[in-house]
């Protein structure tokens, strides 16, 4: 229905329009985890590997050399996991967030690492 060039929506029209907007928003929110994982993958491939962490005062794991014996005994997989943990994109930011949250919550539980 139109009144002097202004379209007047009925209750059903507004409800259908809002339902469509809600569905679009729900799909966009559902895509966020996928987009975050994709962004982390792209950052991991684009950023160079670091060798030393000043914040933690330790050397970071590098990509392990492949040996079939290490694959059989399982040590290769542990080295690859350590590499991905150490070379995670924006790792220092995430470590800072974790330390800050512990400080805010006043917990003194240390982070367990492979070196412990």
Note the pLDDT of residue 33. 92
* Residues sharing a CB contact under 8 Å with residue 55, sequence separation 6 or more, in sequence order: 92, 95, 96
Separation between Cα atoms, residue 27 and residue 47, nearest integer Å: 30
Tell me the three state secondary structure of residue 7: strand
Vertex 73, ends 71 and 77: CA angle to 5°?
Answer: 50
CB 47 within 8 A of CB 90: no
The mean pLDDT of the chain is 81
pTM (2 d.p.): 0.58
Q: What are the domain boundaries of the chain?
A: 1-46, 48-116
Note the pLDDT of residue 67. 93
Task: Residue 86: count other Cβ atoms within 10 Å of its Cβ.
Answer: 20
Express each pLDDT in 42-92 by its tens digit: 988 898 999 998 888 899 999 999 999 999 999 999 999 999 989 988 888
């Amino acid at each position: 229905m139109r009144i002097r060039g202004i379209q007047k929506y009925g209750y059903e029209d507004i409800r259908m329009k809002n339902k469509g907007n809600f569905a679009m928003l729900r799909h966009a929110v559902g895509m966020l985890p996928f987009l975050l994982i994709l962004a982390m993958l792209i950052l991991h491939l684009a950023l160079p590997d670091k060798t030393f962490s000043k914040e933690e005062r330790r050397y970071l794991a590098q990509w392990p050399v492949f040996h079939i014996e290490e694959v059989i005994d399982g040590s290769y997989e542990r080295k690859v996991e350590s590499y991905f943990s150490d070379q995670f994109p924006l790792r220092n930011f995430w470590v800072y967030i974790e330390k800050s949250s512990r400080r805010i919550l006043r917990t003194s539980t240390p982070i367990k690492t492979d070196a412990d």
